Structure 1
Amino acid sequence: MEGIKHRRVEVNGIKMHIAEKGEGPVVLFLHGFPELWYSWRHQIVGLSSLGYHAVAPDLRGYGDTEVPPSMSSYTCFHIVGDIIGLIDFLGVEQVFLVAHDWGAIIGWYLCMFRPEKVKAYVCLSVPLLHRDPNIRTVDGLRALYGDDFYISRFQKAGEIEAEMAEVGTEYVLKNVLTTRKPGPPILPKGRFEFNPEMPNTLPSWLTQDDLAYYVSKFRKTGFTGGLNYYRNLNLNWELTAPWSAVKIKLPVKFITGELDVVYTTPYFKDYIHGGGFKQDVPNLQVIVQKGVAHFNNQEAADDINNHIYDFINQV
C-alpha cells in the first residue's frame, strides 16, 4: 500500500476520489458492489511495479467520491460519463481497462459507447449482459429467479437499506464479501442474509483491517449509492436500445472463479461456454479459476495480476 497516492478530481460535474501509483500506460480499475478502490489494492501495487500507471477510482456513490442523492443520477450514461471524464483528466487517449462485478457492467458499457478509449479489457466475474429487446432486464431476471432474487429485492428504494441497517454495516460487508455459495443469490424478506453460510472467521485474503476500511467508508456513505446502480437496470435497458445486438470487438479476457455467484447462476454458464458470449465478443478469451469465488481480484490476487500483465502485454 506504500506509495499509493490519493486525490479528488472534477469529472462530469462531480468530485471523484482516485487512488493511483506508478508511471507508464494507464491501467484503469473499476470496482463492484459493495466495494471501493481498495478492492484493487493488490493490483495497484502489482501493476505499478511492472511499468504501468495504475488508477482506481471510487465510483459515483461510493467511498470518498460524491454521492448524488437522486436515484436517476446512476444510469449507465452518468457512470460512463464519469469514467470518460477521468480518462480525459488523465490526459491519455486510451486505457487498459480492468473491472469487476458492477465495474465490469460499466466496463461493457464503456466498450459499447466509446470503444476508441479502451485498448483491451480484462473483465472479472460479470460477462456482457446480452440485451434482450423483448424484456426489460430486471423483469427478465425476476421471471427467471423470482421475487427474492437479490436484484429483485434491491429495486425498492429504502427497503433493503432498512434490513441492512438492522444487522449493521460490518455484518452486511462481511456477509457479502465472504460468500462462496453458488448462485442465484436469494434474499428472503425479513433479515439481510446474502450468505447464509457466513463463516465465523475471515478468509485469509480479507484481514480485519481490510474489513475495517470498507466499514469505515460505508458507514459514512451508506449503501444507497451502490444500490441505485441496480435500480437503474431497467432504465439502462431503455437507454441502450440503439446498441441492441452490438458486438464488442476489442480484445477481452474474461476471468471468473468456478464458485462465483454469477458464474454458477443458471443461464450465465451456458452463455459463457455455449457460444453466445463469443458471438457477442468475437475477440474473447475465457479463464475459469479453480476453487475461487466471486471476489477473485482479492482472493486470487497474484493469479489475477499475472493474467492482467500477460494479456495487456500482448495487445
Structure 2
Amino acid sequence: MHVAEIGEGPAVLFVHGFPELWYTWRHQMLFMASKGYRAIAPDLRGFGDTDAPPSTASYSVFHIVGDLVCLLDSLGLDKVYLVGHDWGAIISWYMCLFRPDRIKALVSMSVVYTPRNPLVKPMDLFRKTFGDDFYICRFQEIGWEEEFAKVDTKRQLAASFLNRNPNAPKLPKDYAKSFNPPPYTLPSWLTEEDLEYFASKYRATGFRGPFNYYRCFDLNWELSGAWTESKILVPVKFIVGDLDLTYSFPGIKEYIDGGGFKKMVPGLEVVVMEGVAHFINQEKPQEINHHILDFINKF
C-alpha cells in the first residue's frame, strides 16, 4: 500500500474516490498538518501505487475496510478522524458500521449513507432506475476497462473532473468512438500538473482495479446482511455540492431534507454548498479545509 503522510498530532485518515488517488487530498493534508494534525492518505487497493489484486472479489468492502484497519494497526493508531469522498465516502460509511471503535468522527462528502435494503440488490435497483447505459451498470461489463483505455487518459479524466452536469452519467456501448468532449479549459482549482499526475498513474495502472469496486456492489450487499437497518453511531458532518450528480439521484434530496438521513445517522450535520459539483474537496479546498477542522475540533 502506498501511503502519503505529513504532520504530527492527532491522526486524520483521508479516503479517496474514483477517478482519484491520495493526491485528491493534497490541499487538505497540508492544511491539517499546519493545524497540528497528522494527515494520512493512502492509495486504495487497485489505485495508483498500491497493489491491485487480479480477482474482482478481492475488492469487497471487507477487503477495503480491512486494508484501512491494518494500516491503522501498522501505524500504531487506535482511533482516527476519518474523511471520505465518493467511493471513499462509501468505504468510510462501512468502516463506521464495521469498526466504529476505530473512528472518532467522520467527515463524509458526496455519497449519503443509505441503509441496506434486504428486498432488492443494488444492481437491480440501478438498472431499474437508470437503465443499462448508467455508468455503474456499464462498469459491470467485463472488458469495459479496455474500452476506457482506447480514450486518451488525460482528456477522459478532465471530462470527469470538470463535469458540472448533475444528471446521471450514461455511457453508450461504443464509448470510445463516441467520446468527443470539447477541448478543456482548466479552472483555477485544477492545474495541468495536477491533471498530469492523475493521468500518469491511470496510464500506468489502467482502470480494472477501480472498476472492481463497482463490480462488488451486489457482493457487498450480500456480505453486509448482518448490518441491515444498522445506524451510523459516530459523529458525522456530511458535505455535498448542489451540482453533484449524487445529490440529484432520485430520492436523495428528500432523504436528506425529510429526516431519513438524520434518522440513520443520529449525530449528523449536513452542509449543501451552492454552485459546487462532485469533486468538492478539490474545487473548494479552503471551505472544505475549514469544515473539516471546525468539525473534528469538537472531538
TM tier relative to shorter chain? over 0.9
User: 1:102 aligned to 2:87?
Assistant: yes
Match of 1:229 among 198, 213, 230: 213
User: 1:157 aligned to 2:130?
Assistant: no
CA distance in 1, matches of 2:94, 2:20: 19
Q: Note the C-alpha offset of 1:129.
A: 3.1
Pairs aligned (count): 299
**One-letter amino acid of the structure 2 residue matched with residue 126 of structure 1:** V
Match of 1:238 among 191, 215, 222: 222
- Alpha-carbon contact 2:149-2:206 (below 8 Å) kept: no
Q: Which structure has the higher relative contact order (CA within 8 Å, separation 6+)?
A: 2
1:89-128 alignment to 2 at 5 Å?
A: 89-128=74-113
Q: Note the C-alpha offset of 1:156.
A: 1.2
CA distance in 2, matches of 1:286, 1:128: 12
Name the SS of the counterpart of 1:314 in structure 2: coil
> Could you say which residue in structure 2 is the equivalent of 1:267?
251
**TM-score, structure 1 normalization:** 0.92
Residues 178-202 of structure 1: CA deviation (Å, up to 9, x unaligned): 1110122222221259998766211
**One-letter amino acid of the structure 1 residue matched with residue 49 of structure 2:** D
- Alpha-carbon contact 1:97-1:118 (below 8 Å) kept: yes
**One-letter amino acid of the structure 1 residue matched with residue 119 of structure 2:** N
**One-letter amino acid of the structure 2 residue matched with residue 36 of structure 1:** L
Match of 1:249 among 233, 248, 266: 233
Could you tell which deviates more after superposition, 300-309 or 137-146? 137-146
Could you tell which deviates more after superposition, 192-201 or 239-248? 192-201
**TM-score, structure 2 normalization:** 0.97
Identity level (%)? 56
CA distance in 2, matches of 1:95, 1:272: 26
Name the SS of the counterpart of 2:288 in structure 1: helix
1:138-287 alignment to 2 at 5 Å?
A: 138-159=123-144, 161-192=145-176, 200-287=184-271
1:8-87 alignment to 2 at 5 Å?
A: 16-87=1-72
Residues 59-87 of structure 1: CA deviation (Å, up to 9, x unaligned): 00001100111111000000000000011
Structure 2, unmatched stretches of 5+, are none
Name the SS of the counterpart of 2:5 in structure 1: strand
